[in-house]
Structure 1
């Protein structure tokens, strides 16, 4: 299948391209810059979510779209909310319009579990209430609503993947917890922790998230429908658990400084049962020691 991957030059995008190629698909990378080097692509197309003409050219001749492009910094979104709605929401609308014009009906959309503000200590099912805490999350939820509405017209069959905390491999974001903890272990500063470090999150390897995208394409939604899945390991890992794992893997101590607790959910974990049952997907690389070890190796250590 010829699959257009938006955001193909990004952290998740590169993993998805690789997974699609390994599964026998022909991934077509949509990128901003023509000189982007991405292994495994069948073709590279230069386009922008905010440029409808380039989008119309990008979707020509493809059979499906895996939509990963967008902005993803929660704190930045608080300072620049309109930019996030413009790219994440309006950009998705423009892509849907281009797909409709080209007759492309199959869509996989990478959303975020950040739309759930709290889990009250219970693993999140897809029917958990949405309560986005910042413009990044609300802009992705608004994009989901646009996809749902378009699906009801019969123009698209969509699968929405609400991803938990991506990590593993060559993670380009030094602000994520595992890269920050590894940096502290290497002597690059102190790991600052809000509160006592007991806050639990669900960490999923980027390769597992990419495999979920492939599974969604291999088990497409019915025409005229939109469905959603929570994609995570199903395990809760605290900040102190990650510190302990980094110390086990590296053999180095992690210096820690505790700051006042932040107002945030104590536990946020996905229930992946529906993805397992309907997509045949499960996280196979998302054990905490494996995540830390893989990120450590990617740093060349």
Structure 2
């Protein structure tokens, strides 16, 4: 299958492109700049450039849509930018797909749409309660996809991803990269409260595998939504301890005042397992930390040369 991957130069986008190729598909990387992941043809286009989008979709059979803005705190300061890119960009992509006759999409959404549900682990039956503009913009994009799928002209799958981790995670604001940086640099790690907040971390390889499973397992002409996570929770202190074990270095903690955030956010990926045949095979904390440790040490060696 010829699959256009938007956001293909991103952290997850590169993993999806590589896995599609290994699975026997023909991935086409849609990027905003000319540098593209290896093993994929590249087409340069912006989500908000209608003409470029139509050219990028030429000859394509399906789309994995990962392009967008992803930082929750930034979205609070720039909400209109997030809606323009995440929601408006998705609508523009759907219009271009319609014009090109492309009728299959897998959309990267976020588990943060559920907000702070009391019931844990979280399932697809929970009500939506987006806590910030980032989640709201993704939910609005989901609504657009669902509405268009309702016309019968689109087969669509939405993946609400939990905290994707491991590999060469470039986001220094995320907990696990920050923890590795503290261990390797000898700097202190600032945490909110007592470090007991629990999150669900999803190995990037498992996240990429979910996109491939959707393309291969979802019947044409249907709409589906799945929460994709490890089904396990790890506290901040557990993450710190795992990184300390892996690096052999102690990490100094600075405890800041508690933030107004959920005590625990854990997924129940049973629906994805039963309907897609997808399982989180690499998403235990030790595997995530082990794989990220190798990348972090390689970076440290390169910088020391």
Q: TM-score, normalised by structure 2?
A: 0.96
How far apart are the structure 2 equivalents of 1:226 and 1:57?
26
Please identify runs of 4+ aligned residues in structure 1 that moved more than 3 A.
none
1:5 counterpart residue number: 5
Alignment of 1:12-91 (within 5 A): 12-34=12-34, 36-41=35-40, 43-91=41-89
Gaps of 5+ in 2: 301-305
How far apart are the structure 2 equivalents of 1:155 and 1:85?
24
Post-superposition offset of 1:127: 1.2
How far apart are the structure 2 equivalents of 1:251 and 1:121?
37
Q: Do the aligned residues in 2 keep the contact of 1:120 with 1:265 (CA within 8 Å)?
A: no
1:257 matches 2:258: no
2:155 counterpart residue number: 157
2:204 counterpart residue number: 206
Post-superposition offset of 1:175: 1.1
Q: Say what the alpha-carbon RMSD is for the aligned residues.
A: 1.0
How far apart are the structure 2 equivalents of 1:228 and 1:262?
30
Q: How many residues align?
A: 298
Q: Do the aligned residues in 2 keep the contact of 1:49 with 1:87 (CA within 8 Å)?
A: yes
How far apart are the structure 2 equivalents of 1:27 and 1:124?
32
How far apart are the structure 2 equivalents of 1:121 and 1:177?
24
> 2:109 pairs with 103, 108, 111, which one?
111
Post-superposition offset of 1:188: 4.5
Deviation per CA, 1:209-232: give whole Å up to 9, x if none.
000000000012441x32100000
Q: Do the aligned residues in 1 keep the contact of 2:19 with 2:209 (CA within 8 Å)?
A: yes
2:145 counterpart residue number: 147
2:195 counterpart residue number: 197
Post-superposition offset of 1:290: 1.1
How far apart are the structure 1 equivalents of 2:84 and 2:237?
37
Q: Do the aligned residues in 2 keep the contact of 1:121 with 1:268 (CA within 8 Å)?
A: no
How far apart are the structure 2 equivalents of 1:81 and 1:132?
13
Q: Do the aligned residues in 2 keep the contact of 1:199 with 1:238 (CA within 8 Å)?
A: yes
Q: Do the aligned residues in 1 keep the contact of 2:29 with 2:36 (CA within 8 Å)?
A: no
1:242 counterpart residue number: 239
How far apart are the structure 1 equivalents of 2:175 and 2:69?
19
How far apart are the structure 2 equivalents of 1:135 and 1:221?
32
How far apart are the structure 1 equivalents of 2:236 and 2:59?
46
Q: Do the aligned residues in 1 keep the contact of 2:72 with 2:135 (CA within 8 Å)?
A: yes
1:232 counterpart residue number: 229
Post-superposition offset of 1:85: 0.2
How far apart are the structure 1 equivalents of 2:195 and 2:268?
23
How far apart are the structure 2 equivalents of 1:173 and 1:121?
29
Q: Do the aligned residues in 2 keep the contact of 1:21 with 1:27 (CA within 8 Å)?
A: yes
